[in-house]
Structure 1
Amino acid sequence: MSLLKNFPSYRLERIVLERYGTFRDALSDLDDALNILFMVSNLTCTSVIDSDRVIHCRRLCREFQKYVTMTCALRKVFASIKGLYVQVEIDGVFPVFIIPYRPFQSVPRDVDQRVIKSFLEFYECLLSCVNRHLFHWKGYSYPPQYEESLEEKGFSVFDAFRLECKNNVSQLTVCGTEDSDFGVSDSAEGDKKVDHPNRLLEGMTFFLGREVPLDLFDFLIRSCGGNACWELPGTQFTDPKAITHYVYDRPNIPGDRRLDAEYVQPQWILDSINAGVLLPISLYLPGVSLPPHLSPFVNHENSIYRPHYQDFISEFKTSEVTAYTEKVIGQENTKKDKLDTTSQVASGDDGEEEEEEDKRQRALVPNDKLEPCNETQNRKLAKMMMRSKDRYRYERITRTQKKAMKTANRLLRRQEELMHSSD
């Protein structure tokens, strides 16, 4: 018992400040910290991770989300089976993290929770330092006051924070260390640089249905300058006339429809944020078949396969097209020609292409007058002159390119089949 009572206490703030010399260095390494903290904040307490640590992780994550909603720093979002991939911009750095859905699954038994706890201890200190720096940067004291009574009544967690202005903002303190922080010069440069806020949903009020994840979409809407509300038992949250959009994820809408409000599915918010423009609501009406939810983290500019909806969004921004069906019909012939081209490129390996070329030459020219193709011959000679290591790398590159072409060819064929079946 005496050993447990005299267990030494330690702090990791100095280690965090020594590892990250500047604030941008800490932001660049924030992805893993946010992933683990958001994962633990959605867990139940275990034998290794107690309930106090889970509550502390949840508090740190909400403080970070509160800063994102204040500055409208949201950039991209993608809904996957793992959770919600979110990209934010802070001081020119773009951290990407995952917010899991609720209810979250339990931790598997084959996972060593002690390893997670060792990383979690450091990441808690890192995010606490980052949150303190961000709130001081905006002129607020840290930690902000939080009223749990509002959360228990069903209100938004972001409305439960009470921010207090700091009297002396010039003297920043990070995790209780007054003599050092992430760097005064780095903070001074950050004050001059203002990130462009994302106010795509400014002036809009969204009513979220019961089937919509309230905490996730409340965060997304507020991060783009909008307001979110939902039904509270025995409480009138806001004036119904102030609601501009109703978000439902079911075909049957309860109650009477309002003619002066819009009704959309949740995917409209995600796709509009990624596109940077409000997409046509007619494609996202409750009960209709939704367009594909494209990942904003995949660049289709230089790829062989380019989805129809990506072309529609690009031209919709320039007001060249207004209906998605018109774009699909107009793209059918173009995609068919592109499919024929890619099928010729992606058919077979190197040996099969060379054999087919030789067969064509033998069919056109007699055997005694046959001359090998210059391109094939030059490629063979170049491969023979390569070192074994370079030849291995070249073959890996060609195999990767052919694999990508085959995948694009399969997607194009599937796309063409779907268009013919719809007709």
Structure 2
Amino acid sequence: MVSKKKKKYSSGEGAQFMTRKAALKKLQLSLKDFRRICILKGIYPREPRNRKRAQQGAGGIKTLYHTKDIKFLLHEPIIWKLRDLKVYQQKIRKARAMRQYGQMRKFLRDYPEINIDHIVKERYPTFVDALRDLDDCLTLCFLFSTFPSLKRVPRDQSMLCRRLTVEFMHAVIAAKALRKVFVSVKGYYYQAEIEGQTITWIVPHHFSFQPQSKDEVDFKIMSTFVEFYTMMLGFVNFKLYHSLNLVYPPKLTAAFSPGSEKDLIDERAYVAERIAAMNMSLARVAGSNEAEELPEIDIFNTEDEDPQKLEDAKLEAEKVKKLKTMFKGLKFFINREVPREPLVFLIRCFGGEVSWDRNMFVGATFDETDESINYQIVDRPSMDKQFLSRYYIQPQWVFDSVNARTLLPINKYLMGAVLPPHLSPFVDKTKDQVYIPPEQRALNDPEFKPQNEASDEDIEEASDEDKEDVDNSDEEGDDEALTRQYQEEVAEESTSEDEGEGDELDVEKKKLAKEKKKAMAVTAGLTHKEHPYQKEIEDKQAFRLREKLVRKKHRNLYKSMKAGQEARKKEIWLLRKKRRLHDEKVKEDKKSDKRKQKIQALEAAMA
């Protein structure tokens, strides 16, 4: 029998991939609806190994998807909803053109809605899966919560993001889950630990909104992502509130209700309402405990049973326990020039009480004249009226204390003082090649003294090595003197014995005995000093030989690892160079200021 000839591209990469045009034809969807369904279902383009085979011999670069992903979309019920929407849109357009406004109102009333609950449950079967993918969700929802009413963003989407983000911040406050914070140009970086999962998100600064052109930002695609993320965040908030014995949805201020319109117009009123909502305590489920107990963290033995790892884990657990109640029993008052939202969030997360001027903003809990206030946060050089019963500090003290997990000394953060650098706590300790600024090294090691240049450190290290060599040489000299003294004593004893027995033994026997004794004598060895340059050359040669032993299938991986190391070295070198230039500029500014002061003093003396 003659076997059938196999058709080209019927198997392998030619059958595994499908172009976007073919996918649109198979699903019978427009490009807009296809993008929307792919975002909701989490399907994205793939990169094949051999593009020519995957594109079935076609040239150019095309957008490719896995065939199984497109087949997976065929069974999605939302596709039928999208087709119904298309039908209704055609009916509405026809009724408007025919001026049948009653019929048009009927179609608008019966307009079908898309429900994506099942997609969230499908993509995140467990609560932990949703927490692992919560970083982008929170960042985008916080960004959209600052948007006004835009053309390509639905009117109620920003309102929904505002309500959900405030609910999440309340859950973090109730759970005392915040761990790190960092203030940057982009915004406020927060990191929380919920159910053993680390979640990091960014809250942008509150500036006036600047419209962007369509070429720079596609708000339609971002709005589709937010459509899915709001549904996901609603599920997460519901689960968090019930695990904390809190009533969901919480009763917040009137500005977060869907019927209010003033916050869409007045951004300052919205921000004030949101901060006031964060300063309120939430209602708990009837019968639950008011005071939440902090459970002890169990420390289990590791496989290698390393005592150092167990000790580190216990210390970390104790630090986290102290961090949760760091501001407990303390009262803070915030001046009107200080950004209130991040400070209120931080102070409330760690058990403190906070208030502000009730004449300027809503939601204040106590007045400035309260004598029980411990700290007043000020961002101005001086104040006319001051109370002796409290400390006047700058806002950075709160952020640095949270990252240090203890109340730092306030002498560097007093009103009008020059602040120390605000260091980022987001440092990967597992990496061996990380740039550590001098201030961080000084915090880690109190005995560390920063040097202006790396060459000074090298000189000091070289001088220390020379001192060690001198000490070793002195020790070696003492050993040689002791061995010589011992040999002389042995020789004297041997000669005295030989003189007593000289009459009995012959001269030849005496010579043989002396030669044997000389051969058996202990002599001091000479130390061989290694040349560091020669040793470095030998180590490099041995390393090149080891590199040649890398298997062929692992060579590309090894090359990428080496490229990563070189990139990190270059990044560290660049950061050190920037720091050196910055320090030189600061020194020059100080010198110029001193010169100006001297000139002014001379001019005053001459006058």
TM over 0.5: yes
Aligned-pair CA distance for 1:105: 3.1
1:238 aligns with 2:342: no
Give, in whole Å, the separation in 2 of the partners of 1:394 and 1:341: 33
| 1:217 CA displacement | 1.2
Counterparts of 2:279 and 2:576, CA distance in 1: 50
CA contact (8 A) 2:279 2:344 kept: no
- Is contact 1:208–1:228 with CA below 8 Å preserved after alignment? yes
Task: Find 1:309's aligned residue among 413, 427, 439.
Answer: 439
Change over 3 Å in CA distance of 1:161–1:285 after alignment to 2: closer
Q: Do residues 410 (structure 1) and 574 (structure 2) align?
A: no
SS state at 1:270 partner:
helix
Go from structure 1 to structure 2 and tell me whether the alpha carbon gap of 1:168 and 1:409 turns closer, same or farther (over 3 Å shift): closer
Q: How far apart are residue 293 of structure 1 and its match?
A: 0.5
Aligned residues: CA RMSD = 3.8
Cα 1:401–1:125 change in 2 (3 A) is: closer
Contact 1:84 1:98 in 2 (8 A): yes
Return the match for 2:229 from 123, 126, 141: 123
Q: Give me the whole-angstrom Cα distance separating, in 1, the residues matched to 2:254 and 2:148.
A: 19
Q: Contact 2:377/2:395 (CA < 8 Å) preserved in 1?
A: yes
For the residues of structure 2 that align with 1:71 and 1:168, how far apart are their CA atoms? 15
The counterpart of 2:202, out of the listed 78, 89, 98, is 98
1:165 Cα deviation (Å)?
1.4
CA distances 1:119-147 after superposition (whole Å, capped 9, x unpaired): 11111011111111111112222111123
Using the alignment, how far apart are the partners of 1:192 and 1:247 within structure 2? 33
Q: CA deviation at 1:389?
A: 3.4
Residue 158 of structure 1, aligned match among 272, 275, 278 = 278
User: Which residue in 2 is equivalent to 1:112?
Assistant: 218
Task: Kindly provide the CA deviation profile for residues 284-336 of structure 1, in whole angstroms up to 9, marking residues without a partner as x.
Answer: 11211111100000247955643333244346xxxxx6xxxxx67x4449976
Measure the CA separation in 1 of the matches of 2:327 and 2:280. Answer: 22
Q: Which has the higher contact order (CA 8 A, sep 6+)?
A: 1
Match of 1:374 in 2: 538
Q: Secondary structure at the match of 1:119?
A: helix
1:142-221 correspondence runs (5 A): 142-148=248-254, 156-160=276-280, 162-165=282-285, 196=321, 198-221=324-347
Distance of aligned partners of 1:383 and 1:73 in 2 relative to their CA distance in 1, 3 Å threshold: closer
Q: Secondary structure of the residue that 1:156 maps to in structure 2?
A: helix
1:14 maps to: 118
Paired with 1:29 and 1:89, the residues of 2 have a C-alpha distance of 13
8 Å Cα contact 1:41/1:57 also seen in 2: yes
125 and 167 in structure 1: CA distance in 2 versus 1, 3 angstrom threshold:
farther
Aligned pairs (5 A) from 1:311-390? 311-314=441-444, 330-332=449-451, 337-338=456-457, 373-379=537-543, 389=556
Percent identical among aligned pairs is: 31
- Cα distance in structure 1, aligned partners of 2:372 and 2:329: 10
Change (3 A) 1:148 1:162: farther
For residues 389-409 of structure 1, the C-alpha deviation after alignment (integer angstroms, 9 at most, x for no partner) is 367436524522541452365
Mind listing any 5+ residue stretches in structure 1 that lack a counterpart? 170-190, 316-320, 322-326, 343-363, 365-369
Q: Counterpart in 1 of 2:395? A: 266
Please give the alpha-carbon distance, in whole angstroms, between the structure 2 residues aligned to 1:374 and 1:300. Answer: 31
Partners of 2:247 and 2:399 in 1: CA distance: 32
One-letter amino acid of the structure 2 residue matched with residue 308 of structure 1: P
Whole-angstrom CA distance in 2 between matches of 1:143 and 1:391: 53
Contact 1:304 1:408 in 2 (8 A): no
TM-score (norm 1): 0.74
Deviates more, 1:107-116 or 1:33-42: 107-116
Preserved contact between residue 380 and residue 415 of structure 2 (Cα < 8 Å): yes
1:136–1:166 Cα contact (<8 Å) kept:
no
Report if the CA contact (8 A) 1:145-1:161 is conserved. no
Q: 1:141 to 1:395 in 2, by over 3 A?
A: closer
Is 2:135 aligned against 1:24? no
Question: Matches of 1:87 and 1:200 in 2, distance apart?
Answer: 17
CA contact (8 A) 2:148 2:209 kept: no
Amino acid at match of 2:393: V
Equivalent residue number for residue 61 of structure 1: 165
Q: Classify 1:132/1:406 alpha carbon distance in 2 versus 1 (closer, same or farther; 3 Å).
A: same
Which stretch of the first structure deviates more once superposed, 103-112 or 238-247? 103-112
Q: Is the 8 A contact 1:305 1:412 kept in 2?
A: no
1:336-355 Cα shifts (integer Å, max 9, x gaps): 6446699xxxxxxxxxxxxx
| Match of residue 287, structure 1, among 401, 416, 424 | 416
Instruction: Identify which range, 212-221 or 84-93, moves more after superposition.
Output: 212-221
> In 2, distance between residues paired with 1:338 and 1:373?
23
Query: Using the alignment, how far apart are the partners of 1:304 and 1:113 within structure 2?
Result: 37
Measured in 2, the distance between the counterparts of 1:135 and 1:284 equals 37
Match of 1:99, SS state, is strand
Unaligned runs of at least 5 residues, structure 2: 1-103, 257-268, 290-294, 299-319, 462-530, 592-607
Equivalent residue pairs, number: 364
Judge which range, 13-22 or 373-382, deviates more. 373-382
- On the 8 A contact 1:272/1:278 being kept in 2, the answer is yes
Deviations 1:24-69 (A, max 9, x none): 1111111111001100111111012234221111111101111111
- The Cα of 1:223 is off from its aligned counterpart by 0.8
